[in-house]
Amino acid sequence: MTVRTIRRAPRQALESTRRRVRDGIFHRVAGSDGDRNRHRIHYAPGPRWFAEDRPIRRVHGDSAMFVGGLRALLLQSLHPLAMAAVEAHSGYRGDPWGRLQRTSTFLAVTTFGTAADAEQAVDRVRKVHARVRGTAPDGRPYRADDPWLLRWVHVAEVDSFLRCHQSHGRRPLSPAECDAYVDDTARVALELGVLDPPRDRAALDDALRSYRDELVATPQAHAAARFLLFHPPIPLVARPAYAMLAGAAVASLPRWARRELRLPKLPVVEGVLAPTAGDAVVGMLNWVMSAPQGDAARRPAG
Q: What are the domain boundaries of the chain?
A: 55-289
Inter-CA distances, 102 with 2, 132, 196, 282, Å: 49, 16, 25, 22
Residue 290 has pLDDT above 50, yes or no: yes
Q: What is the pLDDT of residues 190-202, one digit of tens each?
A: 999 999 999 999 9
Q: For the residues 88-95, what does the mean pLDDT come to?
A: 75
Percent of the chain with pLDDT over 90: 65
List pLDDT tens digits, range 226-252: 999 998 888 888 888 899 999 999 999
Residue type, 251: A
Q: Is the pTM here over 0.75, yes or no? A: yes
**What was the pLDDT predicted at 19?**
79
